[in-house]
Amino acid sequence: SASAALNSVKNAHFRPFGAPLFHHTDPGKDTFVFMQNAEPISMYCADETDGESLSVCQQVVEPLLGYAIDSGNIEPRLATECTGNSDATVWTCQIRSGVKFHDGSSLDANDVVASWAAGIDQSNKNHKGNTGAFEYYSYLFDGLMN
């Protein structure tokens, strides 16, 4: 595959694997045009595994933590810090203040819990998704709840 950007696009980051990192990019104007191989299959990001959907999801969903471009070290995104208990089964994260959704409402810990519950808890009313498999939750967290 290949990636290219106009010279006017500043700080463009294209990785060998995964979606471009548009949150670091300054397109130099109000409109940013992006092309990819196909349409996303679904925008229910927690239940997707195809690259085209995940490329779009990465642009609209922000994680608690991410990876620094220059080092690959874990860095804060929505969380300012996360600390685990001694066996890493319980994590406490401090949420960055002042985060707003696109509609202007404020992010709080309840939103984070609701997002995780929709993905990992099969009994959650929002655990519907596209396929209902939630493969990454099952794989990364050794199964789903309930």
- Domains of the chain and CATH, by start: 36-140 (3.90.76.10)
Rounded CA separation 8/26 (Å): 9
134, burial (CB in 10 Å: exposed 0-12, middle 13-18, buried 19+): buried
- Among 3-17, 41-55, 107-121, name the most confident range: 107-121
Q: Locate tokens 């089964």: which residue?
A: 89
Residue 65 — φ and ψ, nearest 5°? Answer: -130, 160
DSSP state string for 110-138: HHHHHHHHHHHBTTSTT---SSS--HHHH
Report residue 58 CA to chain centroid gap. 5
How far is residue 137 from each of residues 80, 103, 134, measured CA to CA in Å?
Answer: 23, 28, 6
110 Cβ contact list (under 8 Å, min separation 6):
none
| In 34-101, beta strands by DSSP E | 65-67, 74-76, 79-84, 91-95
For residue range 86-138, list pLDDT tens digits in order: 999 899 999 999 999 989 999 999 999 999 999 999 999 999 888 888 998 88
* pTM tops 0.75, yes or no: yes
Lowest mean pLDDT among 19-23, 64-68, 100-104: 19-23
